[in-house]
Amino acid sequence: GTFLTTTALEPLFGNKEARFETGKFTWIGNMLDNDATACMTWKTSGIKTWEDMKTRETTFGSSGASSLTSIQTKTVGELLHVKTKVINGYQGGIRESNLAMQRGELDATCGVYIVTVRTQFADQIKAGDLIVWMTFGSKRDPAFPSVPTIYDVIQNDEDRALAKLIFEQDVLSRPLAAPPGVSQERTAALRKGFMATMADKAFLEDAAKAGLSIHEMSGEETARRYQAFYEVPKSAVERAKKIIGREADTP
């Protein structure tokens, strides 16, 4: 199976309905290492940089309270000390939020994968209609070299720990997993097959046609990175739970 990293980490963030242990999954690999996300606005919003939000309430679109777009927006508000208002219900995803920004219903949206911005909205970016004003990778994206990352802005270790907990999930953006209990022999075969596919000429040609860059990660490294989320300071996890709205779920 494949799924969002946010889904895989539901137990860490206190979701009682998530009755699984991510650390026991058989991780096969990850297709796209470090597919960072970003925040963007339409040209009529009055927002060109994050500092433009300091003196106003800014509305952000989201599909639902537990979605990446909602969680990352709330985290931005927490880390940048700006007032954000999340409006849920944009079930059509980023495209629907984009249209809502054009209509003036929303000011912005966060949690958009940069690869999506580059492939689906390239014309709008080139025309200056769509403005990317912050990214969440560990370093600035080559496609937007003048746009700061969240790490360019935050000032202390506590904020940095929270940022890493939330935004470094993007490093594991396209993981593949098998169930727990798979034999070592079969796990090795699956991982070998995965890495061979990532180097397959026909596969890479199809990915290029879709505008996707493959940056594979081994199953061993994928497993290590998931385990690392469970080793972050408890204070950062508790802070994240409050942002997500899970404080009531904890014993």
d(CA 95, CA 187): 38
In this prediction, residue 40 carries a pLDDT of 96
| Cα dist from 129 to 34, 59, 211, 222, whole Å | 26, 18, 21, 37
Q: Rounded to an integer, what distance in angstroms lies between the CA atom of residue 102 and that of residue 83?
A: 21
Q: Concatenated DSSP letters for 85-111?
A: EEEE--TTTHHHHHHHHHHTS-SEEEE
Does 124 have pLDDT greater than 80?
yes
User: In whole angstroms, what is the distance from residue 132 CA to residue 73 CA?
Assistant: 14
- Select from 143, 123, 125 the least CA-distant residue to 135: 143
Tokens at 197, concatenated: 């596919």
**So what's the pLDDT on residue 34?**
64
Calculate what percentage of the chain has a pLDDT beyond 70: 97
Instruction: Summarize pLDDT for 26-72 with one digit per residue, the tens.
Output: 999 998 766 789 999 999 999 999 999 999 999 999 988 878 899 99
Q: Read off the pTM.
A: 0.81
50 within 8 A of 153, measured Cβ to Cβ: yes
Q: How many CB atoms lie within 10 A of CB 168?
A: 19
